[in-house]
Amino acid sequence: MNVLNMLKAETMDVPSRSYIEDLLKADLWELGRRAYEIRTRLYGDLATFIPNMVLNYTNVCVVGCSFCAFYRPPRHPEAYAYSVEEAVKRVLAVDAKYGIRQVLIQGGVNPEIGIEYFEELFRAIKAKAPHIAIHALSPLEVEYLARRERATYREVLERLKAAGMESMPGGGGEILVDDVRKIIAPKKIDSDTWLRIMEEAHRAGIPSSATMMYGHVETPSDIAEHMYKIARLHAKTGGFMAFIAWNFEPGTSELGRKIPYPKTSATLLRMVAVARIVFNGLIPHIQAGWLTTGPETAQLALYFGADDFGGTLYEEKVLEWVRAEAPIDRKTDVVNIIRDAGFRPAERDNLYRIAAYY
C-alpha cells in the first residue's frame, strides 16, 4: 500500500523509522498536497513570524565542526568575544531601530566564557528590555558549561533559566546519528547527549526547537532516524515547540571543499512536508527556513506544510553571506513576503503565541 494512504493519525504516537524513510522516498507533489491539508486544518491561511535578532556573542570555538565557516580557534586574528556591555548594547540598538521580541543567543565553545557571563548577560537584557525573550544556547554549549562548572546539566539549565533564559534553540543537532556526526563534527557531543540535555531542559520548564541540517553525508535512513528520535523525545516530554530543517551551506568550510554544492530547494520542500506529516499530533509548528534556500522557497514551503516563516535574523553572522543575498531587512519585508505568497501574516512571541495580525 502507498505510504501516503497510511498517514499517521493526529495523536502522540511516534511513527516508525521505516514509515518515515518511506515518506522521504514518496512523490514530492503528493507529499506536499497531504502536508498542506494537515497545515490548513491546523492553521488555515495563517503564517507566523517573529521579529528576532541573533547575538553571536563569540566566534571562538574549540570544537571545530567541518561544516562551519564561522568559527575561529582561540587567539586567531579574526577571533572575537563581546563583553556583556557590548552584547547588551547591540541588543538594545537593534531593538531601538527595528523593535524585536526575541534575541537568539548562540556562539562557539569558548574556553574563556563561563556561566557567569551568561547569567550577567541575560539579567542585563531582561532588566533593560524585559519585552525581549531570551532564546539561548544549544545543548553543546550547555554540555560545555556543565563540564566547566563541574555541575549537572539540570543545575546549569536552572541557573540559566533563573537568569532569564526562556527557551532553547536546537543548535548542534545536525543529524542525530553518531556515524554521521563522527564524519562532520567528530569533537561534538554525541546524539544521546544532545537528546538528554534537551530532555533536561524540557523537564526544567524550558521549551525548545528541534533542528536538522541535511544535505551533506547523511542518507534517507539517517534522516528517518533523526526524525524518529526527535518524535520519541517529544512524545515523552512535550517540550519541542517547532521543527526546523535547514540545508548545509558549503561556504568556505572544510566540508564545503568536499561537498561544494548545496541541495536544491526541492529537498527543503520534501523535508518540510515529511516533517509536517511525521510530527502531526506531536510537534505543533514547522518552520519554512528561509535563510539557507531563500524567501521564494520559503514561500513554497508554506504550501508544503510549514506554518511559521521564522524571524528577521538581524545581526546573524554564522551564515552572513547567505543572509546578505536575501531581501529581508525588516519586519515589513517578512509581512509582504508572507502576504505575497497568499497567506495571512501574524506576528508571534517566543512561545508561538499570536501577538498581532496583519
Q: Say whether 65 counts as a known binding-site residue.
A: yes
Q: Say whether 67 counts as a known binding-site residue.
A: yes
Looking at the DSSP assignment, which residues form a beta bridge with residue 135? 104, 167
The answer to whether residues 196 and 153 touch, using CB atoms and an 8 Å cutoff, is yes
What is the Cα–Cα distance from 68 to 249, expressed in whole angstroms?
A: 9
Q: Say whether 309 counts as a known binding-site residue.
A: no
Looking at the DSSP assignment, which residues form a beta bridge with residue 168? 208
Q: Say whether 167 counts as a known binding-site residue.
A: no
State the virtual CA torsion across 133, 138, 139, 142 in degrees, nearest 10.
-80
Q: Say whether 70 counts as a known binding-site residue.
A: no
The candidate with the shortest Cα–Cα distance to 293, out of 244, 247, 250, 252, is 247
What is the Cα–Cα distance from 83 to 190, expressed in whole angstroms?
A: 30
What is the Cα–Cα distance from 288 to 302, expressed in whole angstroms?
A: 7
Which residue, chain included where needed, has cell 503564517? 47
**What is the residue type of 59?**
N
Q: Say whether 120 counts as a known binding-site residue.
A: no
State the virtual CA torsion across 349, 230, 67, 300 in degrees, nearest 10.
-60
The candidate with the shortest Cα–Cα distance to 213, out of 236, 180, 168, 253, is 180
Residues flagged as binding site: 61, 65, 67-68, 138, 174
Feature table: binding site for (3R)-3-methyl-D-ornithine: 138
Binding residues for S-adenosyl-L-methionine: 67, 174
Annotated binding site for [4Fe-4S] cluster: 61, 65, 68
